[in-house]
A = this chain, B = another copy of it.
Amino acid sequence: MVDGRLNSEERKAQIISAVIPLFANLGFKETTTKLIAEKCGVSEALVYKHFPRKEDIYTEIHKFCCDKSQDDKNELTNMEPSTQSLVMIIFTIVYSIYMNIEKDPEEAKNFKRLMFRSLLEEGDFAASFHKSHFEPWIPKIEKCIEAAVKSGDINATISPRLSIYFTHHIAVCLNLYSLPNQTVVNYEKEKEEIANEAILFALRGLGLSSQAIQQYYNPNTLLSFFKKYK
């Protein structure tokens, strides 16, 4: 194999990244130790030297995925609580979850599969990922919603937290139904248009007035802004 000899840390990292697609596509049970060794280009014995049990690789993969997606959306933290920020955040949620801008599509798909598998198991990975990567944004979003209500851009009584999760769920479920190779749900639209409609649906769902949507939601502007900070 190309790799030659690696030190302990390097080898561990190599095994982890090589094996992610296996666990993502086959699940825990169907990923055999033989397949793992083959995919890594090393002997089974070596794998066992670094990870005494198959389960250790699985949990390590989850940790790796949690660390890795340390998103750099930090610029959102500095945003003023406003309707414009709220629109930007909704756009970001849908685009980063469903459109996977500037991520390797294969890598993104593997991550999603691992996430959905977790939800069919104990949900540990999903829970810790959510707590560390999504939950922290909620207070910020709530403030934006507050600001939008104050400025009269939102004229419905909504639960901010639930509304955010509904938006999140639409994006997640669009992913879920796009996982299989065949068409499960026929949306009859291109991916970009689906994302655009989803954002509009969510903005209306959040109670934004049509004037506010027209004023603050411009897909092209937001996209260029989004790309700039990614």
Classify chain A: how many residues form its interface, as a range: 35 or more
Dominant SS at the A interface? helix
Write the A178-202 contact mask toward B (1 if CB under 8 angstroms, else 0).
0111111111110000100110111
Stretch in A33-41, A52-60, A80-88, A123-131 with 4+ CB within 8 Å of B: A123-131
Q: Determine whether A46 belongs to the interface, using a CB cutoff of 8 Å to chain B.
A: no
Within 8 A of B (CB), among A188-227: 188-189, 194, 197-198, 200-202, 204-207, 210
Task: From the candidates B158, B184, B200, name the one contacting A127 in the complex (CB within 8 A).
Answer: B184
A198: chain B residues at CB < 8 Å are 162, 166
A121: chain B residues at CB < 8 Å are 180
- Least Cβ distance of A201 to chain B in Å? 4
- Least Cβ distance of A208 to chain B in Å? 9
A residues touching B (Cβ–Cβ < 8 Å)? 27, 29-30, 113, 116-124, 126-127, 130, 135, 155-156, 158-159, 161-163, 165-166, 169-170, 172-174, 176-177, 179-189, 194, 197-198, 200-202, 204-207, 210
